[in-house]
Amino acid sequence: MTLFKMGNAAYIKEKNKRHILQCIKEHGPIARSRISETLHLSKPTVSALVEELLHEGWVREEGNGDAGQLGGRKPIYLTFNSRAAYIFGVDIGGTKTLTAVSDLAGNILGTREFPTQDNLQYGLLKKVQKHVQELLLEQQISEDRVLGIGIGAPGTTDIVQGTVIDAPSLNWHDYPLQNEASALFPFPVFIDNDVNVAVLGEQWLGSAKNMSNVVLISIGTGIGCGIMINGQLYRGASFAAGEIGYLVTDKNEAKKHTKRAFEGYGFLDSFTGGPAIVAKMQEALGDKAIQELTAKDVFDLAKSGDQTALAVTEEVVDHIGFAIANVISIINPEAVILGGGISKSSPWYLPRIEQIVSEFAAVKTVIKTTTCGPNLGVIGAVSLVLREHESALKTF
Amino acid sequence: MTLFKMGNAAYIKEKNKRHILQCIKEHGPIARSRISETLHLSKPTVSALVEELLHEGWVREEGNGDAGQLGGRKPIYLTFNSRAAYIFGVDIGGTKTLTAVSDLAGNILGTREFPTQDNLQYGLLKKVQKHVQELLLEQQISEDRVLGIGIGAPGTTDIVQGTVIDAPSLNWHDYPLQNEASALFPFPVFIDNDVNVAVLGEQWLGSAKNMSNVVLISIGTGIGCGIMINGQLYRGASFAAGEIGYLVTDKNEAKKHTKRAFEGYGFLDSFTGGPAIVAKMQEALGDKAIQELTAKDVFDLAKSGDQTALAVTEEVVDHIGFAIANVISIINPEAVILGGGISKSSPWYLPRIEQIVSEFAAVKTVIKTTTCGPNLGVIGAVSLVLREHESALKTF
DNA sequence: AGGTAAGTTAGGTAACTTAACTAACTAACC
DNA sequence: GGTTAGTTAGTTAAGTTACCTAACTTACCT
């Protein structure tokens, strides 16, 4: 990839430049003089690098501030130009695929979506490409102003090879997503697992803002978990970190099943997965089985007071609670964020999870729900681009 | 701590110097010219920095190598001088406290030990200090040649405050270990949890050599787990990462107990802890209960074929197996290393654990046992000093 | 001798720093 | 109300440092 260089003067200049840009981004309107103080860089250095940043469009001079009480020249405020470049985020979900453009601050400027399943055969990426072009036109953005496109895929993803190892809902196996996408877009493509992408989003603009160690647990079609450690996404030795669908929360139950029972999915999946919930419910209903039942229906029934549904969902929530407690005992995150489909009805089951966690986890840990809403996936994908993109400073 | 400086020329020089030293350390006897190639630094730069390293004693010129087939000047081989400085490692265990001196390559040059419990009241650190002085004398090492002393403590450790939050076996609660020790030694003191220290050791010189993502599970008095992620120790948001004594592997069993049952220790501890094992065995024996029974006795009995002991230990091993499977599903490490007291009898129960892991964990993962032997603790403590010590280059 | 490789010397460049400057403003005094 | 002193923001100029390239010496092979 990028040439291995480490010790020359250019490296230190770029590093300082990055720091200055970061400082302006974080500390809002700020004067050169203040940057010099906080970053322990000399005033001339800051001025020179800011000059370049101004030229390159990353930064704007935004009017003069007031002078201090004791007098002195007015500071010239610098602000980060979040419109210096644009980023595309794509959230490939089991049901729909969302495409969005955002500025550098994560403001979603426009979105498009289409049903995933209908377009699987014909070329899902072709459709995304169409939406990207529509959004470019709509928002009057020129291609060379786009930093890159981030894609979150619902399955294990090898970000080194750029392939989706396994995404059952899309029937993708070792699908070279990054290569396929790179052929369609004139800017860099970054891909990752949907849960990983979700933590990135939540840690950037959601309820895990600025937390260095945080875990997002997504409960939807399956159960998954994205882990951030030391402010960085942790993917594991073989991109399988956070596969909590395999957690065993009941060893006696587990021993009853043979290996076959879990082929392709884990112990916990067989209790908390959508199909499993429906099956359990049907079994409990016996001859009163309902046609076309979904997991959401079961939860809705439970909420409305149905005793059978309540028993089934309580069991599910219990399993999830213990799984979360186990994650906490191992990872000791600052907070656990709950996301995914079921997180909407969180007020109902959150107390039970909190209770289990407070009783059984090694440390008291805050449990929150996502705050990014339905755009979490695309926001995370955008964040992925910002984090992985090496040269977020190169002139263009 | 160390002054915040990042952008000046001195920084890049030190960085390059470190890289060169690292390169010599790793790639054995190596010529300046080869360093220049592998590190992409110019020959004059390498020569200048090597000159300094020679002066400071970190590096030695070790005879000339042979010239190449096509002729040319013979290379001057450089080797890392592992005797440039020395490090002390202290392993405070529940039963004994080991003190060792090592060189920079991790060679243990001498050790001393004393029973921990007998010296708790009188001043454990005073005794360590005595042993350190003895070793300095014995090995003819002058104080100012010592980089630091690393101490592994059997309990949750706050490495920022430098305190041991809780170490039941020593009756330490918020004990300011680092401060207390710093008062006794004329060189820097570094402290950490015994399990954390153990992974460091195992990753430096043991069976996890050079692995970036690895987990060490220690089964002794309690069960604990040290986690390395991206080549760095991961301690968690509140130094409680890896508290697998709290993992719940049987939610129905867990729900039977009230919170009180686990006060201070976790669900798994209540099945795999020494006292728990003994209690289970006595219960199984009924009126045939044995006086003065220890957990080790139970395992020994099981190994000799005692049916009651076999049943009890099998249950314990099962719990441990599922706990390890859960750790793997969450962390996805390159390998899991088993350590601690019981790891000696590993050939006996390892197959069962491997079976559970292969059946229930999300990914196939190698399970190994420690290879550092009884010195793992002190080697880890030495490694801690090497890793935490910022200025492993400052002249002295 | 001619070729090759290791390591050194000399000169140039690029980035930082400090010190001194200009610019712009407040406060206070005559 | 005008002048002067003090303060802060940002620029200019000179000096430092650590890197690089290019040309060299040393030492060895055939």
pLDDT of residue B199: 96
**CATH label, B209-371, candidates 3.30.70.260, 3.30.300.30, 3.30.420.40, 3.90.1200.10:** 3.30.420.40
Q: Is the pLDDT of residue A219 over 90?
A: no
What average pLDDT does the segment B381-394 reach? 80
Q: Is the pLDDT of residue B254 over 80?
A: no
Q: Is the pLDDT of residue A276 over 60?
A: yes
Nucleotide nearest residue B42, measured CA to C1' = D20
The band of B168, judged by pLDDT with boundaries at 50, 70 and 90, is confident
Q: Do A238 and B19 touch (CB under 8 A)?
A: no
What average pLDDT does the segment B187-199 reach? 95
Q: Parse chain B into domains and list their residue ranges.
A: 9-80, 86-204+377-388, 209-371
The answer to whether the CB of B241 falls within 8 A of the CB of B213 is no
Whether the CB of B47 is less than 7 Å away from nucleic strand C comes out as yes
Q: Is the pLDDT of residue B395 over 50?
A: no
The band of A286, judged by pLDDT with boundaries at 50, 70 and 90, is confident
Strand partners, B229: B232
The answer to whether the CB of B225 falls within 8 A of the CB of B244 is yes
What average pLDDT does the segment B136-163 reach? 94
Whether the CB of A76 is less than 7 Å away from nucleic strand D comes out as yes
Q: Is the pLDDT of residue B392 over 90?
A: no
Distance from CA of B224 to the nearest CA of A (A): 10
A308/A119 Cα distance (integer angstroms): 38
Among partner residues A243, A250, A334, which is closest to B250 by beta-carbon distance?
A250
pLDDT of residue B2: 39
pLDDT of residue B169: 86
Q: Which residues of A touch B160 (CB under 8 A)?
A: none
Highest CATH level, class, for A9-80: mainly alpha
Q: Do A236 and B40 touch (CB under 8 A)?
A: no
pLDDT of residue A343: 67
Q: Is the pLDDT of residue B327 over 50?
A: yes
Whether the CB of A31 is less than 7 Å away from nucleic strand D comes out as yes
Query: Mean pLDDT for chain A?
Result: 87
Q: Is the pLDDT of residue B342 over 60?
A: yes
Q: Is the pLDDT of residue B102 over 50?
A: yes
pLDDT of residue B291: 79
Q: Do B326 and A247 touch (CB under 8 A)?
A: yes
Whether the CB of A7 is less than 7 Å away from nucleic strand C comes out as no
pLDDT of residue A198: 96
pLDDT of residue A122: 73
What average pLDDT does the segment A215-234 reach? 91
The span from the first CA to the last CA of chain B, in angstroms, equals 19
| Strand D contacts in B 21-40 (CB under 7 A) | 40
Among partner residues B229, B267, B361, which is closest to A229 by beta-carbon distance?
B229
Q: Do B266 and A362 touch (CB under 8 A)?
A: yes
Q: Do A241 and B267 touch (CB under 8 A)?
A: no
Q: Per CA to C1' distance, which residue is closest to C18?
A: A42
B18/B13 Cα distance (integer angstroms): 9
The band of A100, judged by pLDDT with boundaries at 50, 70 and 90, is very high
Among partner residues B7, B212, B248, which is closest to A322 by beta-carbon distance?
B248
The 3-state DSSP composition of chain A as helix, strand, coil percent (nearest 5) reads 45, 20, 30
pLDDT (tens digit, 9 = 90+) per residue, B239-248? 999 999 999 9
The band of A327, judged by pLDDT with boundaries at 50, 70 and 90, is very high
The band of A297, judged by pLDDT with boundaries at 50, 70 and 90, is confident
What percent of chain B stands above pLDDT 90? 49
Query: Mean pLDDT for chain B?
Result: 87
pLDDT of residue A11: 85
Those of residues 331-390 in B touching chain A at CB distance below 8 A are 331-334, 359-363
A138/B259 Cα distance (integer angstroms): 58
pLDDT of residue A2: 39
pLDDT of residue B391: 59
pLDDT (tens digit, 9 = 90+) per residue, A121-161? 778 999 999 999 999 999 999 999 999 999 999 999 999 99
Q: Do A329 and B239 touch (CB under 8 A)?
A: no
Tell me the Cα Rg of chain B: 24
Are both B9-80 and B209-371 of the same fold? no
Q: Is the pLDDT of residue A1 over 50?
A: no
The answer to whether the CB of B72 falls within 8 A of the CB of B21 is no
Q: Is the pLDDT of residue A29 over 80?
A: yes
Strand C bases, protein C-beta under 7 A? 2-11, 13-20, 23-27
pLDDT of residue B87: 96
pLDDT of residue B88: 97
The band of A75, judged by pLDDT with boundaries at 50, 70 and 90, is confident
Q: Do A322 and B252 touch (CB under 8 A)?
A: no
Q: Which residues of A touch B239 (CB under 8 A)?
A: 332
Whether the CB of B74 is less than 7 Å away from nucleic strand C comes out as yes
pLDDT (tens digit, 9 = 90+) per residue, A342-395? 767 667 788 989 999 998 888 999 999 999 889 999 999 999 999 988 655 554
pLDDT (tens digit, 9 = 90+) per residue, B264-309? 678 888 888 877 888 888 888 888 778 788 888 888 888 888 888 8
> Cβ–Cβ contacts within 10 Å for residue B296, how many?
15
Q: Does A234 touch chain B (CB under 8 A)?
A: yes
Torsion of Cα atoms, A239 then A241 then A245 then A251, to 10°: 130
DSSP state of A199: H
Whether the CB of B69 is less than 7 Å away from nucleic strand C comes out as no
Least confident of A128-142, B160-174, B274-288, B322-336: B274-288
Nucleotide nearest residue A67, measured CA to C1' = C25
Q: Which residues of A touch B360 (CB under 8 A)?
A: 246, 248, 254, 262, 266-267
- Going by C-alpha positions, the residue among B276, B169, B154, B319 that lies closest to residue B226 is B154
Residue tagged 């860089």 (tokens): A41
Q: Per CA to C1' distance, which residue is closest to D17?
A: B9
Q: From the candidates A317, A332, A337, which should be mutated to test the interface with B, based on the most B CB atoms within 10 A? A: A332
What average pLDDT does the segment A92-117 reach? 94
The answer to whether the CB of B50 falls within 8 A of the CB of B59 is yes
Whether the CB of B63 is less than 7 Å away from nucleic strand D comes out as no
Q: Do B326 and A248 touch (CB under 8 A)?
A: yes
pLDDT of residue B261: 47
pLDDT of residue A258: 57
pLDDT (tens digit, 9 = 90+) per residue, A166-189? 888 888 999 999 999 999 999 999
Whether the CB of A16 is less than 7 Å away from nucleic strand C comes out as yes
Distance from CA of B304 to the nearest CA of A (A): 26
Distance from CA of A328 to the nearest CA of B (A): 8
Q: What is the side-by-side strand order in the sheet with A172-175?
A: A156-158, A163-167, A172-175
Distance from CA of A12 to the nearest CA of B (A): 6
Fold (CATH) for B86-204+377-388: Nucleotidyltransferase; domain 5 (3.30.420)
Whether the CB of B7 is less than 7 Å away from nucleic strand D comes out as no
Q: Does A239 touch chain B (CB under 8 A)?
A: yes
What percent of chain A stands above pLDDT 90? 49
Those of residues 313-342 in A touching chain B at CB distance below 8 A are 318-319, 322, 325-327, 329-334
Strand partners, A152: A91, A192
Question: Straight-line distance from CA A188 to C1' C29, in Å?
Answer: 66
Alpha helices in A215-306 (DSSP H): 251-256, 269-272, 274-285, 295-303
What average pLDDT does the segment A218-246 reach? 92
